[in-house]
Structure formats: structure tokens, C-alpha cells
Amino acid sequence: MIVVVKIGTSSVTLPDGGVSDEAVARLCEQVAELRHLGHRAVVVTSGAVTAGVAALAPGRARPGDPVTLQALASIGQHRLMRVYDDAFAAHGMLAGQVLLAPLDFGERGRYLHARDTLRRLLDLGVVPVVNENDAIADDEIRFGDNDRLAALVAHLLGADLMVLLTDLAGLFSADPRVDAGATLIEEVREIDHDLEKAAGGSLNEAARGGMASKLAAAKMAAWSGVRTVVAAADRPSVLVDAVTSEHGGVGTVFLPHDRRLSARKLWIAFALRPRGTVVVDAGARSAILERSTSLLAAGVTAVDGSFGPDDAVEIVGPDGTVFAKGISSLGSDRSLEWIGRRTSELPEGLPDEVVHRDDLVVLEDNSTRR
């Protein structure tokens, strides 16, 4: 079994921001247990920026400007890896650093290179330790958090299980840190809007994720056929239990969905930030949902936001509900030239499709379309 394990900033760092040797050692010991049982693991880790802050300016608040954050990631990343190296060495194991960016999943050639590298590391008996390439990441095209990165890695490798380790025991009906009546949800078969609303956000300023991002990652994994477990990082034997417990007993289990998406469409659906909204009529909505067609200009009734060609847009039906997402072939700056027009009426040089079917993802769970 291939297991992708993601651990967040709050679970691998100390209160002062430094990397916790104890927390990393505990994680690596459990990965060694998985190896002993015949499983292979990939670790997706956060914590580089926070470790950089602790090294350069201990006790100071985390800065907000992107360039400084990238520099801090560069400082903290090798410190983070040094702790992983030492922790795995204690079990006679090697770690291999892999830094990934969103385009590694969006472009076929880079996708295959990333997959081959990770597979070869596993074949060599090395534990890949993955993080986003924060030091050079463009803030406009980043994953946003390592939960989504973990889900894309799980898809990339055809993993059997993704485990998201956090500071909570799993997904609760409400935030247990502010609601004493919150109860643990042990199994999720379908991720709906009510569940997403219950997930809320992150209360940890050092973390970019939170339960909402874990829910999004679990949805990505479910649409890749991967079972997901969200559980507490400090739970004893959490990884072994997650592997051996099919239903409940270890945090929250998210069951795989019947639907399958390609890595590119997962990237479009979850990793790209939408730059605008395209409103369509009932006919266009039906054509997309029922016949998996491209979105043509004739079916568009309005646009909102400022976006250019190759930007991600949300597609909204007449009722105002977002039902799809895609990469636009046309920019909003020329929308008056193409909204509602038939293909034969479009100005010369404009693409026929607003969003081509290969760049379009239906977001409704009850759809069987791709």
C-alpha cells in the first residue's frame, strides 16, 4: 500500500516556531512501522517558513510580504529537512527532498517527471519528503496549503490512502475549540455544502490550512479513488491504525467517490484561484452537465470580475449556483464582443469556446461527467 501522510505546521513546530525534533521523530518512527508492515509512505510536510522565522528573527511576528516569506522558506527548508534526515537515520532509512509547484501537475511533461521521481525514490527504499517550492512560488499560482498538495501527490502516485495529521482528532460537527457540544464525525461518504460550512477555517496564525482545506483535500482524494483519514498527529500509532481501520476508530474517514478526475482537472478544480465568474443560461448548463460540452459564447449571459485568457473562472447557472470551473479562453476585457454571440458572429481571432471541455470541471458531486 502507498500511503501519503501530510503533517501541518502546528504539528511539527514548537511554540517559538522552531522545528520540533520530538514531533518529527514520532512521525518518522510511525513511517518506519509502516515500512516494517510492507507499506510505502510519502511525507508531505509544512513548517519551512515558520522554521525560517525562528532562525532569523526568533520571537518576532510572521511577516506578511511574499518576498520575505519566500526568503524565510529558503532559510527554514533545509533546517526542516535536517531534522527529518536525522529522524529517519535513527531507523536506518533515507529521506529524499522533493519540492513541487502547481505547474508540476498542470503540465503533462512535468507531471510525468514528478511521478517518475517519486516512484523511483520509493523503489529505492527512500522516503520522499515533499513540500511546496515556497522559495520561488508565484503567489498567484500556488497550492494555497499542503493539504491540497498532498491530495495531488496521492493522485499522482495512485495512492491507496491519504492521512492528514492535525492538532484535532478529526472533523467535528463544529469547532471543538469554541463549541463544547461539538462531536466527532467518524465517517463521511459524501462531502456536501453543510459539511463544508461546519469545517470552518484555521485558528492557527502560522498555518495556511485548517479543517476547511482538509475537507477540500479529502474531496480531491475521494475523486481520485483514494481513502482519506483526518486524525490527530499526537495519537499513538495513528498511521498504522489508519491503514488497518477501514471504517471509523481513527479520526474521520472519508470514503472514495465513484467519480474519477484526471490530475489536470483536479488542479483546475482545487488548486487554481478563480479570477472571475461566467454566468450561463439553462441551455448551456444542461449541455455541460448532460453532454460534457465546451462552454460557447452563445450560452453566456454575463461575466463578473476581471480575468484574462488562461485564467480560472467559476461557471454559474441561472440560479446563481456555481456548478463548474474552468480555464477561460477569452478575457473579460473584451466580453462585450463575445457574450451571447454565436460562433459565426465572433470577431476574427477570438476562440470559439469560452471554456474548452478539456479545461472544464463539473463540481457537482452527483454528476458522473468529467
Segments of the chain scoring below 70 in pLDDT: 106, 137-144, 197-209, 246-248, 271, 365-370
In 253-263, which positions are buried (b, 16+ CB within 10 angstroms) versus exposed (e)? bbebbebebbb
Shortest CA distance to 355 belongs to which of 329, 331, 335? 329
Does residue 252 contact residue 188 with C-beta atoms inside 8 Å? Answer: yes
CA-based nearest residue to 8, from 211, 223, 238 = 211
- DSSP β-bridge partners for residue 314: 277, 325
pLDDT at 369: 37
Q: Where do the domains of the chain lie, and which CATH numbers do they carry?
A: 2-265 (3.40.1160.10), 274-362 (2.30.130.10)
Region for residue 233 given its phi and psi (left: phi exceeds 0; alpha: psi -120 to 50; beta: otherwise): alpha
Indicate the helix (H) or strand (E) that contains 183.
Answer: none
The grid cell for 284 is 448551456
Q: Select from 33, 39, 29 the least CA-distant residue to 4.
A: 39
In whole angstroms, what separates CA 184 from the centre of its chain? 23
> Can you read off the three cell numbers belonging to residue 366?
452527483
List the Cα angle 118/91/2 in 5-degree steps.
35
As given in the structure block, the three cell numbers for residue 166 are 492535525
Residue 203 pLDDT:
35
- The pair phi, psi for residue 84, each rounded to 5°, is -65, -40
The predicted pLDDT at position 206 comes to 38
As a whole number of angstroms, the distance between CA 203 and CA 240 comes to 28
Which cell is 352 given?
470559439
pLDDT given for residue 109 in this prediction:
86
Please give the C-alpha separations between residue 159 and each of 299, 334, 364, in angstroms, as whole numbers.
Answer: 39, 43, 24
In the prediction, which pLDDT does 370 show? 37
Phi, psi of 338 (to 5 degrees): -125, -20
CA–CA separation, 316 and 300 (whole Å): 10
Rg of the chain in Å (alpha carbons):
21
DSSP for residue 62: P
